[in-house]
Amino acid sequence: MSIQFEFKKYSFQEVASYFKEKKLKNLILFSQARSGSTFATENFSKFLNFKNEQIFNEANFLNKHFSYLKYFVKKHDNFFLNTNEFIYKRPELIKDDTLFVYLYRHHDDIKKSYEKAKKKDFYMGWEEFYSRYKVLFPNIDQNLHVALFNHYIWQKQISKFKHALTLDFNSFKNLDGFIDDRSYFVTLKQQKNSQVLNRAKKNPNINFNIFEKFYFFCIRRLESRKKNIINY
């Protein structure tokens, strides 16, 4: 069945052109698990000439309270950031000179990646995690698989941002380093035959002082994502 979305999908070249033409400073990449965000973060960021110290992958915000990400965005500039979480709170990440990009991968491909992860024993409970957001979006068909449900969430959110585009993951097939046949990949973050990773590395260049770090530690302790998914 062919599914039509209201948003237009752009190639990475078109997104890059928009970013440069508008003279933007920051890029926030929204994604979901198994959508190709590791490849996009590592390679598209370099295509845009971001340096390593300016690139913040999902690991930097994993299992943090939303206030941590929101304050990071407020306090920092000239960054490329990726997150697979905080889906409900995305529209609160308003920042000037920033392009908000949603990484679109066909939901069937994401579902297949889920099944592969289960067979290869590196499944991380993504379907169960994203299912918790459904109650927050009652106007979207609750019976949809989470991979497709997440696309419809973005369709509702895209108009909230001044600069927002949907990036087609398949366009990366024209970017150096892309491997089309990933059937032999055996770990969570694998990108090459010889590069086997189970988790992304964190960037140490987050400019929070000791008091700010203590605040985020406390708020994370006080509000567990097991109790409330809104801020996670």
Task: Categorize the per-residue pLDDT at 198 as very low, low, confident or very high, splitting at 50, 70 and 90.
Answer: very low
Lowest mean pLDDT among 9-18, 99-108, 115-124, 144-153: 115-124
Task: Categorize the per-residue pLDDT at 194 as very low, low, confident or very high, splitting at 50, 70 and 90.
Answer: very low
Every domain of the chain and the residues it spans: 9-222
| Average pLDDT of the segment spanning 74-102 | 97
Q: What is the pLDDT of residues 125-139, one digit of tens each?
A: 999 999 999 999 999
pLDDT of 47 strictly over 70: yes
- Report phi then psi at 165, rounded to 5: -140, 155
| Average pLDDT of the segment spanning 108-114 | 94
pLDDT of 179 strictly over 80: no
pLDDT of 190 strictly over 70: no
pLDDT at res. 177: 78
The dihedral over CA atoms of 209, 83, 229, 5, expressed in degrees to the nearest 10, equals: 150
Helices assigned H by DSSP within 45-183? 45-47, 66-75, 107-120, 126-131, 146-157
pTM comes to 0.91
Residues 98 and 29 sit within 8 Å (Cβ to Cβ): no
Name the architecture of domain 9-222. 3-Layer(aba) Sandwich (3.40)
Closest by CA to 12, choosing from 191, 174, 130, is 174
- Average pLDDT of the residues of the chain: 90
pLDDT at res. 192: 54
Instruction: Round to whole Å and give the CA distance between 220 and 232.
Output: 10
pLDDT at res. 138: 97
